[in-house]
Structure formats: structure tokens, C-alpha cells
Chains A and B, each alone.
Chain A
Amino acid sequence: MKNYDIKKRKTLAENIKLFEIEAPLIAKNAKPGNFVILRIDDHGERIPVTITDSDVENGTITIVVQEVGKTTKKLGMLNEGDKILDVVGPLGRETEIKNYGTVVCIGGGVGIALIYPEIKAFKKAGNYVISIVGSRTKDLMIFEEEISKMSDEFYITTDDGTKGRKGFVSDVLKELIDDGKKIDIVMAVGPIIMMKVVADVTRPYGIKTIVSLNPIMIDGTGMCGGCRVQVGGNTMFACVDGPDFDAHQVDFDNLIARNKRFLEEEKVSLEGLKNG
């Protein structure tokens, strides 16, 4: 039960890698919106990553990770056949999947891969799915084929215009709304600032908007309160009350500040890794 072997590893874009990890119990119970917490080695930090797919038969889960700091870079150095010391999950509440009518799914950066399970599930539940995905530049675009296959409408944006439209995912969303498209729900996963802008776009129209928040976590079971976020004036623990929340109620500025609380230490860690 305790062998979290890496069965497959694939580079999707610069600094973005996909892993299939052996974890039969997690695979069996994983639902869209769930995540795992993993620890690479005995000295390692516990970090949360979304389950983007699971294969019950083979007993594996798929994760897609962007290298941003020491732990994600160490993960990126692992190969097929290597083991991860600890993987626990599936954690968090699952995304509420049902037939809403028309759903807009928005993914930014590595968030494109993370919203893929929701796109699949919304489609399966009978929704009309509009997917909007955005990255900084063409080379960072991931999961294009998978998502386009599952979507009734599919839009790509890049910040520099090297692929799809030049601009942001929120621009496309705004246009759809302005064109009078009837949208029942919007779900957005990506950089906090992107989720904040999406919330600002839909707020005046009262379109229900769900975001998947990514605060710093430790245990992932509601024990430490490190992952707390402010939602509608209340303090919530994202690992057990979320990670999905009503975007119009989230205090994004607090989340942005809280995710920077260990910036200096993260730099020290990364330097340590570079210098061996």
C-alpha cells in the first residue's frame, strides 16, 4: 500500500511536468476537485497538488506540477521508477458537479491541467461546456487537445499573442457575456490574480462563479489552520471547507498576501537546492 512509485513522467512544457503515481486507494476514491499532499523525502515539505486524473484499474493518479520552488523542482528531477515518500488523499471537498446548463471553465497556466477533471465531469453531467484557457506564451500551452475534445466551445489566449488570441482569459469571458451568451456558472482555476479578475468580471452580472483556492497548506486535514482564507467575512480552512469557494465572497488580497509569507525562506531553500 505504501509504494508511491512514479509509473510515468512526461514534460508538458518548460517547467511543467505530468506524473502518474501508484496510489490505488486514492485512485479509487478521487473526485474532481480533490487534491493530494505529498512529501518527497524525509527532509521535505508537505505540498498540495490537484488530482487531475485517476485510473482505478491501474491504481494510479495523475498530477501536473509546475516547478516554482524547491519542492516542485525536486519533484521535477524524479524519474519513472523513483518513489515518492508520502502521498495522502484524496483531500478537500469535491467540486459540485451537476447539470447547470451552460458552464464556462477557465484555466490559466498550470491551472489549465487542473481544471481538466472538472471539464470532463461537467460534460458528462450533460452541460454545454465552454472552455477558455490561457498561458503566457505558446510554448507553455498544455492539455489543449484533451480539453478541446471535451468542450462545446474552446478558446485559447496567450499574453503575447503567439497562440490563439492575444490577451487574457477574462477578456474572452467578458466578450461572451457582452454577446449575450446565457451562462449559468463559471469555474476558474489558475493564478490568484486571474481568479480575482474573473470574479470581478462576473460579479456585476450575478453569474455564479467558483474558484479553487491554493493557500499554503501543511496537514490538509483541518488540523493546523495554515490554509485559512477569508470568505464572506468568515475564516475558512481551504483544505476541508474548500478548496472550491464562491469567488464573489473571497478576499483575494488576503490570500495573495498570505501566500507571500515565507518568500525569504523560499528563496533560501531554492538557493540551497541550486548549490547542491
Chain B
Amino acid sequence: MADGKKKIPKLSYPMPQQDPKERIKNFDEVALGYDMEVAIKEAERCLQCKREEGKEICIDGCPVEIDIPAFIKCIREERMEDALNIIREKNNLPAICGRVCPQEQQCQKYCRLGKGKGRDPVSIGRLERFVVDYSVKKQSVDPLKKKDKKVAIIGSGPAGLTAAGDLAKLGYNVTIFEALHDTGGVLRYGIPEFRLPKSIVDREVEYIKKLGVNIETNVVVGKTIGMDELIDEYDAVFVGSGAGSPMFMNIPGENLNGIYSANEFLTRINLMKAYKFPEYDTPIKVGKVTAVIGGGNVAMDASRCALRAGAERSMIIYRRTEEEMPARKEEVEHAKEEGVEFHILTNPVRYIGDEKGNVKQIECIKMELGEPDESGRRRPVPIKGSEFLMDVDTVVVAIGNTPNPLIPDNTKGLKISKKGTIVVDDNGKTSIDKVYAGGDITTGAATVISAMGAGKKAARAIDKFLSS
């Protein structure tokens, strides 16, 4: 691109992947990442747009506003450390975002290059991932000037980790309280190893610790320590407790054996490493045929885990069509490549068990799309008399999560919405002075990067509050 005339390839450089036939036999990462040569080529596709009034570019689509053109320029010039610093300036967990951000809806959707007919946007996420993976060994942190104020963070998911990292960089004494025995929230217990290796989560958490953040696991706020105690003891509190409460459909037979919530299924596999049973003590049972109810990322993850845990057939049962599926396209494609079957316009109505209380069949009903509902998507309507039976050994219910009521129920004076989310203003401030919140606990189940964006915003507001 140095001469400005070189032709820009229309398509982005593909990322090597594990062969689907092989990868369903292991939990190793599916996408293998760019090497230096390809990364530079991809970086050279970038137009180095300037941000100006009335013209949106990639940065406008990134919830944490990474200076994307700047870090891409560094890649071209092989200044990897500089590239990493530019990313880290805004994003405390870049190796994670590069992997699980819905880039096609965010930065890449705004990419000018991608606006041209038949042209792919720059693969920003892949480049971000490359920079971080490449620079793994060179993570240095400058010693920080300490302030004498303390901030408590509840939850070590992306929202909490980001808020903690930013506040630590500003010199605050930060302590994260995490209910589970390990950090990361959904990054640890939800998103599977083959999509986000846990070694990467460890690395990012290590970085946050290096910034001086103290992490206390096995502390359930509202139980082990009261919210009121935290409010008394700390100068500010940030709640990033996520939306971790699984929903069920409340249809007959849902408590039969072999029916899991996606959270239970994925927690057993990811957090407790049940895929390595009996080397690890926590078991999982999948049988021959697994059906996953739902069409989001969570459902895709569960269906792909089922194959890896030994199911011969894994099916998605979704009440709308593929077009309405909330899952990322890439995840749907990966699931299909691996042989996951899709039963769309289908909904379970009840489960039938055997004499031991194990699920053996699902009664489903066929659906058709009617008028659009509040979400703008066409409402699925059951077709009378279209019921049919499906034989299954395992069912995973992945129809969504709502905020965990532990903190809302145990905090006096905290304003809660009808949906159970904590109400916050534009800066993440709640109805209680000193208490801020962000991530899935304020929005309902959303994305890693939006949780991080909320953590950043709250950190900024907390800094302002504590400096005034």
C-alpha cells in the first residue's frame, strides 16, 4: 500500500481452522489464528480512514472505541508492541474480544472498506487477536501511583474485570469479589474451550492482577458479605454480577433426568471440566441423541459441546427460522460444519420420560411465522394438530438467562426494573450513592464487549465521583 496504488484484495484473508471431522473429537480451539505474513497482508487492506463529522468508521462500531486504524498501521510496520499498547489502552481483555466479539455487527459493520460492493470489511477482530496472541510474552506493566481510595467490584466477568482494570490503572485500590471458585464469569463457565481457551482467560486475568487488582473468589456478595458492609467499607462499589439465572419453559416433564439448563450443561463441561471425567470428578451424561432448545450463541455452544462429549447426533430445536436466530452467523456455520442438525419452526410442548424418570421423547409442535412482535421479529405461532414425537437421551434448555436476584433481593434501596435488572443512569450509577453497575445485570443477557463498555463507563464515572 506504500505507493497507494496497489490493488486491495476484495476478500479478507481466511483464518485457518481445525477440520470439522477432527475437531468434534476434541475441545481444542477451532479457529487457529493468522500468522505474521497473513496478518500484515490483511492489515494492508485497511484504508486508514480518518474519523470526521458525519462519516462513520470502524471505531464508531466498537463499544470501547479502540483506535483501530492506528493499531492496524502498527501491524503493517511490524511494531507489535505499539499495536498492543494501543489496544490495551481501551480494552483490558483484547484476546477475548478478538475471539468472541460479534465483529460483523460492530466494528466491521462500520468498516468503510466493507461498504463497497462485493468487498469484505477488514477482519479487525482477527487482527486484534493476532496482536495479542503474538505479544503474549511481553506483557509489562508500569508501576502505578496509588491513591488512598478503595473500590469493591462484584463479579469477575468482563464487566467487573474491565472496571477493575481501568480503576487500577487510575491508581485505586481495587478488590473483586467473585462467587465461584474461579474468575471470568461466562468467559469461564459458559463459552466453551474450543471457542475461547481458558488459558487465554487466565492470561487476561493475570494481566488484571498485575495491575494490582486483588481478587477474592468464593465470596457471594449478599451472603458471605452483605452489600451494606461493602458500601460502608469501600469508597465505591461496582456491581457486575451478570445475568446468570437460567430460564425454563415450564412445560410438563421439564424436571426429568437428562434435561439440563444450558448453564448447568456448560458449567459442568467448562468450569468443572466434566469432558475429562473421570480424571475430573464432576460427571456429565449425554447419551446418543441430544436436543438443544434455542437459537442463540448459548444454544450453538451447547450443541457443539454435546458432540464433543460423545453424542452421535446433536440437534437444534428453534421456534423461528434461521434468519431470526440470535446466534452469530459464524457460530451457526461452525455448528453446521460439525454436523449439528437444525429443526427450525419447531417448539417443544412436553417431555416424556421412562419408568426411571429419564427423558426419552420430546413432543414438539410445528410453528409458522405470524405478525411481528415488540422485538420486530415475526411471532412464531403453533400450527394446530402438527404435534410429533422425537426420541432423545438428553435435552439442553437454552432459551435465555435473567439477572440473578441475589444482589437485587439483598440490597435495600436498590432500584430494580420489572425485568429484574438494576436500573442505572447513563454513567452506570444506581439509585444508591457510591454504587454503580454494568454489564448483563443492567441490560439483561447481551455481549462481552457491551459488558466491557459498561465497565469502562462506570470506571470513568467512579473516578470522577471519587476525585470530586
Interface 9-mer from A127-135, A169-177, A188-196, A259-267: A259-267
Q: Across the interface, which residues of A come within 8 angstroms of B245, CB to CB?
A: 222-223
Complex alpha-carbon distance, A269 and B254, angstroms: 28
Indicate whether B278 reaches chain A with its CB closer than 8 angstroms. Answer: yes
Indicate whether B272 reaches chain A with its CB closer than 8 angstroms. Answer: yes
B223 touching A44 by the CB < 8 A rule? Answer: no
Q: Across the interface, which residues of A come within 8 angstroms of B358, CB to CB?
A: 261
Partner of A86, one of B189, B218, B224, B279: B218
B267 touching A219 by the CB < 8 A rule? Answer: yes
Interface 9-mer from B21-29, B134-142, B257-265, B320-328: B257-265
Complex alpha-carbon distance, A219 and B283, angstroms: 14
B282 touching A45 by the CB < 8 A rule? Answer: yes
Report A265 CB to chain B, min CB distance, Å.
Answer: 3
Interface 9-mer from A9-17, A140-148, A154-162, A225-233: A225-233
Q: Across the interface, which residues of A come within 8 angstroms of B254, CB to CB?
A: 235
Complex alpha-carbon distance, A266 and B254, angstroms: 23
A240 touching B281 by the CB < 8 A rule? Answer: no
Given contacts A254-B255, A261-B285, A262-B285, contact A86 B280 (CB under 8 A): no
> How many residues in B have their beta carbons less than 8 Å from beta carbons of A?
45
B248 touching A262 by the CB < 8 A rule? Answer: no
Given contacts A254-B255, A261-B285, contact A88 B260 (CB under 8 A): no
Interface-central residue, A2, A226, A253, by most chain B CB under 10 Å: A226
Q: Across the interface, which residues of A come within 8 angstroms of B257, CB to CB?
A: 257-258, 260-261
A88 touching B357 by the CB < 8 A rule? Answer: no
Give B266's nearest chain A residue, CB to CB.
Answer: A224
A225 touching B356 by the CB < 8 A rule? Answer: no
A219 touching B179 by the CB < 8 A rule? Answer: yes
Given contacts A29-B223, A265-B285, A269-B283, contact A87 B278 (CB under 8 A): no
Indicate whether B390 reaches chain A with its CB closer than 8 angstroms. Answer: no
A224 touching B246 by the CB < 8 A rule? Answer: yes
Give B242's nearest chain A residue, CB to CB.
Answer: A223
Interface positions of A from 205 to 234, Cβ below 8 Å from B: 218-219, 221-226, 228-230
A261 touching B267 by the CB < 8 A rule? Answer: no
Indicate whether B219 reaches chain A with its CB closer than 8 angstroms. Answer: yes
Complex alpha-carbon distance, A229 and B189, angstroms: 23
Indicate whether A113 reaches chain B with its CB closer than 8 angstroms. Answer: no
Q: Across the interface, which residues of A come within 8 angstroms of B406, CB to CB?
A: 221-222, 240
Interface-central residue, A26, A46, A261, by most chain B CB under 10 Å: A261
Interface positions of B from 42 to 66, Cβ below 8 Å from A: none
Complex alpha-carbon distance, A235 and B246, angstroms: 12
Partner of B219, one of A88, A224, A264: A88
Partner of B283, one of A44, A240, A266: A266
Complex alpha-carbon distance, A265 and B280, angstroms: 11
Indicate whether A56 reaches chain B with its CB closer than 8 angstroms. Answer: no
Indicate whether A70 reaches chain B with its CB closer than 8 angstroms. Answer: yes
Complex alpha-carbon distance, A221 and B244, angstroms: 9
Indicate whether B180 reaches chain A with its CB closer than 8 angstroms. Answer: yes
Indicate whether A165 reaches chain B with its CB closer than 8 angstroms. Answer: no
Indicate whether A85 reaches chain B with its CB closer than 8 angstroms. Answer: yes
Indicate whether A32 reaches chain B with its CB closer than 8 angstroms. Answer: no
Indicate whether B268 reaches chain A with its CB closer than 8 angstroms. Answer: yes
Complex alpha-carbon distance, A86 and B281, angstroms: 15
Indicate whether A91 reaches chain B with its CB closer than 8 angstroms. Answer: yes
Q: Across the interface, which residues of A come within 8 angstroms of B281, CB to CB?
A: 43-45, 70-71, 269
Q: Across the interface, which residues of A come within 8 angstroms of B279, CB to CB?
A: 43
Q: Across the interface, which residues of A come within 8 angstroms of B216, CB to CB?
A: 1-2
Indicate whether B466 reaches chain A with its CB closer than 8 angstroms. Answer: no
Indicate whether A25 reaches chain B with its CB closer than 8 angstroms. Answer: yes
Indicate whether B418 reaches chain A with its CB closer than 8 angstroms. Answer: no
Q: Across the interface, which residues of A come within 8 angstroms of B225, CB to CB?
A: 25, 29
Complex alpha-carbon distance, A229 and B268, angstroms: 19
Indicate whether B344 reaches chain A with its CB closer than 8 angstroms. Answer: no
Interface positions of A from 63 to 99, Cβ below 8 Å from B: 70-71, 85-91
Q: Across the interface, which residues of B come within 8 angstroms of A136, CB to CB?
A: none
Indicate whether B277 reaches chain A with its CB closer than 8 angstroms. Answer: yes
B278 touching A268 by the CB < 8 A rule? Answer: yes
Q: Across the interface, which residues of B come within 8 angstroms of A253, CB to CB?
A: 357
Report A169 CB to chain B, min CB distance, Å.
Answer: 26
A258 touching B357 by the CB < 8 A rule? Answer: yes
Complex alpha-carbon distance, A241 and B422, angstroms: 20
Q: Across the interface, which residues of B come within 8 angstroms of A230, CB to CB?
A: 255
A2 touching B255 by the CB < 8 A rule? Answer: no
Q: Across the interface, which residues of B come within 8 angstroms of A257, CB to CB?
A: 256-257, 356-357
Where the two chains meet, the residues of A that have a C-beta atom closer than 8 Å to any C-beta of B are: 1-2, 25-26, 29, 39, 43-46, 70-71, 85-91, 218-219, 221-226, 228-230, 235, 240, 253-254, 257-258, 260-262, 264-266, 268-269, 272
Where the two chains meet, the residues of B that have a C-beta atom closer than 8 Å to any C-beta of A are: 179-181, 189, 216-220, 223-226, 244-246, 248, 250, 254-258, 260-261, 263-264, 267-268, 272-273, 277-283, 285, 356-358, 404-406
Q: Can you offer 21 A-B residue contacts whose CB atoms are under 8 A? A: A1-B216, A29-B223, A45-B272, A71-B281, A86-B181, A88-B220, A221-B180, A222-B244, A223-B245, A223-B263, A224-B267, A225-B263, A226-B260, A258-B357, A261-B257, A261-B285, A262-B283, A262-B285, A265-B277, A268-B277, A268-B278
